[in-house]
Amino acid sequence: MTKYFAAIFLLFLFCSVSNAQNSQPKNLMDTAKIIPQNPDTTDFLEKLVYIAWQNYPDNMGYRYLVESAEEDLFQRKWSWLDNLNLTYQYNPQPTSNADPNDNSSLPRFGIGISINIGSIFKTPSKIKQGQYELERAKLQVTQQKLYIRSEVTKRYAYYVGNINLMKIRTQAENDAQTTLTLVKYKYETGQVNLEEYDKALRTYTDNLERQAVAEMDVQFNKANLEQLVGIKLEEIK
């Protein structure tokens, strides 16, 4: 009878643990698409996102959270074994006046199992709690992935935008310099007055200043992007 009870109890425990393992919340987001899986992609922005995820120091901490939660869940799944105590008894020496026909005088061997029922019934809830902790850690990783993609995309957009603006400002500065050279010649030959020459000079000076500011913005946004990526942009092939 005891054997049947133990078998039924272990079957119940197995079903409870299996149910707890299958009841974990489902994440509907395909997180694999947030960070590129192929570092050899020809898309430069995708390369930046991939490298930033590999190099940015904060990301490692989130990965450790998942690893720690996975280890904790593994321990919880097998914690029910802590509530089982196995005992055995072996008496190899028969009594001195043993009757050959008396089985009680033969060497004896016995096994006993004790179960902490109160604690073992808590195992499914412990597993479920561990699954929630793991899911929460994974969600934190997903959130960090979304942050990295968003920040890299934003900083790269600023960087590219400033490069294009610098090209425009450089062209405007070159045009203003060409105009100033022509007006200066005309002023020296008496074809234009001082006011026109002064106007051309101020236009050139303003464009030169704008070009310098645009170049500074390019360097600033480049450094801002490299801080997230972890390496110089020139090193990315």
Q: What pLDDT does 232 receive?
A: 94
Side-chain-side CA neighbours of residue 52 (13 Å): 28
Give backbone dihedrals phi and psi of 90, rounded to 5 degrees, phi first: -140, 125
Q: What pLDDT does 196 receive?
A: 94
User: H-helix or E-strand containing 6?
Assistant: helix 2-22
Do 221 and 213 contact (CB within 8 A), yes or no?
no
The string of pLDDT tens digits covering residues 15-33 is 555 554 455 555 545 666 7
Question: Six-digit token pair at 167?
Answer: 């090209």
> Can you tell me the distance from the alpha carbon of 202 to that of 194, in angstroms, rounded to the nearest whole number?
12
> Can you tell me the distance from the alpha carbon of 205 to that of 173, in angstroms, rounded to the nearest whole number?
8
Packing angle between helix 57-77 and helix 123-188, nearest 10 degrees? 170
For tokens 């919340």, the residue is 25
> Can you tell me the distance from the alpha carbon of 53 to that of 143, in angstroms, rounded to the nearest whole number?
12
Its CATH class, for the domain covering 30-235, is mainly alpha
Sign of CA dihedral 185, 189, 192, 193: positive
Give backbone dihedrals phi and psi of 149, rounded to 5 degrees, phi first: -60, -45
pTM for this model (two decimals): 0.66
Q: What pLDDT does 142 receive?
A: 86
> Can you tell me the distance from the alpha carbon of 76 to that of 125, in angstroms, rounded to the nearest whole number?
10
What's the length of the chain? Answer: 237
As averages over each run of 10 residues, the pLDDT of the chain (237 residues) reads 48 52 52 76 88 86 78 72 63 56 56 62 74 83 90 96 96 95 93 93 95 96 95 90
> Can you tell me the distance from the alpha carbon of 210 to that of 119, in angstroms, rounded to the nearest whole number?
73
Do 122 and 11 contact (CB within 8 A), yes or no?
no
Kindly list the distances between the CA atom of residue 212 and the CA atoms of 51, 162, 170, 179, 204, in Å, as whole numbers in the listed order.
31, 12, 9, 19, 12
Q: What's the one-letter identity of residue 143?
A: Q
Question: Six-digit token pair at 223?
Answer: 């450094």
Do 217 and 165 contact (CB within 8 A), yes or no?
yes
Q: What pLDDT does 70 receive?
A: 79
